[in-house]
Amino acid sequence: MIVKNKYSGDQFIDLQDTNLVDAKTTLERAKKAFLEMKELPSFERYEALLRVSKELESRREEFARIIANEAGKPIKYSRGEARRASVTMLFSAEESKRIYGETIPMDVESRGKNRFAYYNRVPIGPVFAITPFNDPLNLVAHKVGPALAAGNSIVNKPASLTPYSGYKLNEVVNKSGLPENAMQTVIGPGGGEVTNYFLNSEEVKMVTFTGGVEAADRLIKKAGIKKYSMELGSNSPVIVWNDADLDFATDAIVDAAMESQGQNCIHSQRILIHTDVYNELSKRLVERVSKLKVGDPLDDSTDVGPMIAESEAVRVEKEVNYAVDQGAKLLIGGRREGRFYLPTLIEKVKHNLGLWHNEIFGPVSILQPVSNFEEAITMANDVPYGLQAGIYTNNLDIAMKAIQKLDFGAVLINDTSDFRVDVMPFGGMKLSGLGREGIRFAIEEMTEIKLAIFRK
């Protein structure tokens, strides 16, 4: 059922939890739809996904309000997400026409003489997707678009707190001209019997998941031998070197730290600042954070809205309070008001604490001085995650060394960790996930190689 933003007057229908009988029917439909999808010419998949993209764009404001109501994301950011979802489906349409194979030179050794080979990519089968609350439309599109572009059918289980965005996307897909039930949606809690049914089914050929590491571990143990694509979050650093343009860096860092209330897998959680500029940048960041407007997510001027649930705000509050009890110093924020946790900058956090090592998933960033390059790299890598990292410097040598030494799936130069264009390979090292998203790369994950060998 919908958990609506308390500010909202928008009325949505109630979405009832899917029961086990309906789940079985859903999977049967997904199997049937896959048989049609895999035979569908790529130009027809392209045309259908293009219609989805155009429909999302024409209804951008409607979808933005749904996102803001469900997730508490400020409306200006919700509009950005709605636009991104339209673009994600456009990219999916385009990539549906570019699923290539290649020839293999079999005569590289004597046993391959008189043989010719090529491979192509074929759809994997029914896909089960589990999507999170923080980008309740675009992160659904990131799984649905590539799955359909590749010729698969897909069943999506959106987060139970934000099911409506994905449900409405499903309505759009249903009217696109794709085979019936190419996309379906099931509603319910994570770890419930419906989720477990899809995980356990041998008919589900791939599970694509965005969420936490512990949930992913439980999921894999339940689902067994299948193909997986998993984006499991991070604890992202941004290094600011002593030659950085502080005017350029300040606004970007604050946006990366506080956008979507920090409920973002590439949220910039640890800001590692060269000692030469630490005091100056700290002052600038505090001043910039102090100007953020906290309030109604449907207000165009709001920068920071409520967290997804009060329990999440309480969790963040406990983490920060414990760090302060252990000697950390609050620079700004550090206070909860119901579902709101005020934008927070904190320094002198001990490196053995959860606030340093774990993903906070809230509007909190740590400021940490570093005196040399080796110290900055060691601190940046000192977490079990490795999704994205940023570094601000005008020194090409420093930038190239950072790319080489930072253990992250992406290293951004003169930018924060919080940047993504939806065509790029998105994913991380260590506990940050398995595989890569980004339309072309997701299609590779959602297809299998079939090799043909001819003997002359």
Instruction: Give the catalytic positions in this structure.
Output: 231, 265
Query: Tokens at residue 219, please?
Result: 């999921």
CA–CA dist 90, 84 (Å, integer): 10
- DSSP calls for 252-270: HHHHHHHGGGG-STT-EEE
CA–CA dist 97, 201 (Å, integer): 30
Is 283:433 a contact under the CB 8 Å cutoff? no
Alpha helices in 298-367 (DSSP H): 310-325, 354-357
CA–CA dist 453, 270 (Å, integer): 52
CA–CA dist 297, 247 (Å, integer): 28
Scan for tokens 């001990």, then name that residue: 350
Pairing of strands 127-130, 115-123: unpaired
CA–CA dist 408, 435 (Å, integer): 13
Is 230:208 a contact under the CB 8 Å cutoff? yes
Judge residue 220's burial from the number of C-beta atoms within 10 Å of its C-beta, 0-12 exposed, 13-18 middle, 19 or more buried: middle
Chain centre distance of CA 145: 14
CA–CA dist 6, 436 (Å, integer): 36
Q: Which backbone phi and psi does 234 adopt, to 5 degrees?
A: -170, 180
